[in-house]
Structure formats: C-alpha cells, structure tokens
Amino acid sequence: MILTIDVGNTRIKAAVFEHNTAVEYFFFTKEELLNQVHFILNKFQKIENIVVASVGNVEKELFLSLTVKVKIHFISHESHFPFTNLYSTPNTLGIDRMVLAAGAVLTYPKQNRLVIDAGTCITYDFIDENDNYLGGAISPGVRLRYESLPQYTAKLPLLTKKQPDNFIGNSTHESIHSGIINGVALEIDGFIELYKLQYAKFIIILTGGDADFLAVRLKNTIFANSNFLLESLNQTFQYNQK
C-alpha cells in the first residue's frame, strides 16, 4: 500500500492507495501532520511507501522519524516525469503542477490536456498530445480574492465563499460574492476559449479544493476531480519505480 501526501499552501491532503485504487482520503493541518500520519500508518499497517509532494512550508526533517516504519519518497525536479518540460524556467515550475501534468499524461494518453487546479492559487497547465509540457497561467484563487478585499480596502468585509444568487448583486455582500465567484468562473471559461482558438480538441481536468464548488458554474465540459493531485502522486511514484 502507498500513502500519498500533498502539502499545500493551505492544508495537507493525503490518500491511501492499494495499487491504483484509493482506499481512503484524509485532510488535516500542518500542525497535525505527524499525529495524522502515525494514525494512518497504524490504521493501514500494510503501507510500505509514503510519497510526498510539497509546495508548503513543511521541512523534510519532519518525515525522518517515520523512516523506521516505511520508506519516504519526495517528488522533486530530479524525479522522472512522463513529459518533456518546455517551460523556459523549468526549475521554478511548482512540483504540484508537474505532478498534475504527469497524472494527466498517464491518465489520458495521446491527447491534448488542460489541467486547472483551483486551490489557493488557480493554475493552468497545458500538455499537448505529444507529451510536451507547454506552460500555462497562475492567478489568485477564491480564498485569496475574498481575503484581499478587507486587506486592501477600508470597509469591505471578509466573507465566506457562497454561490451568488444573481450576477447583479443587490447588496455589498452579494456584490462581493458575484464579483469573486462569477469572476473566477468567467476567467476559467475565458482561458478555455483561448485554448480552443489554438487547439481543436483537448480534455479539461478541474481539480483542487474549489473544483466541485466551481464546476457547477462553468459552461465547458470538464472532468471535475478534487483529488486528482493525490491520484497523480500515486501514478508518478509508480512511473518512477518502473
């Protein structure tokens, strides 16, 4: 069995896999990391490998105490990936984006793929049918947009995300919800339309913490899978083992 761990900017997500089948998912904070991992290892004692991808501020040393029980594997720029990286600054490309690209290639072979990760940031990654990683875009995610309003204005409140009742907000709260949620949805649909101008056919994978929340507002046909990064981590590890 394999335990995959995605250390994000906001929280940590983990999943236990039996081959390519996810057995259980876990979500916790960075402060809970070691306790939660010990809990998972005790619950699933057949776990032999832990695979970690990190964009958050978690030191590798935190995992060293676990090496007496299991093998720890950190996915890095030195790992093998099933695509040719054509990014002009390859060493600055986030590991999470590389893992998502790898998952897209391994899950949907010989197709053009656009991966949209709606997390703390919204990232767009395009891999063509010849397995060339071309790049994409980065913009603020839903939570960052909500938090920026009270941080950079004097009177706008901090709200919790909510589906707007109408695109015309009839109060300050509704105007904020409309501006942020409709704005993100229009941005995503707009990027997809730009890709359509250059590529006749491609699949779209929407993932990340806000994937399901946003999927209902998008007009394009997508594969919404909020756990695609964890699944891609498992596939990337198995690809490296081969």
Set 96, 125, 131, 210: catalytic member:
96
Distance CA 11, CA 29 (A): 5
Please enumerate in sequence order all residues whose Cβ is within 8 A of that of 21, keeping only pairs 6 or more positions apart, or say none.
none
- Neighbouring CB atoms inside 10 A of 151's CB total 10
Residue 143 is given by DSSP the state H
To the query of whether residue 6 is one of the catalytic residues in this protein, the response is no
Q: Which residues are catalytic?
A: 96
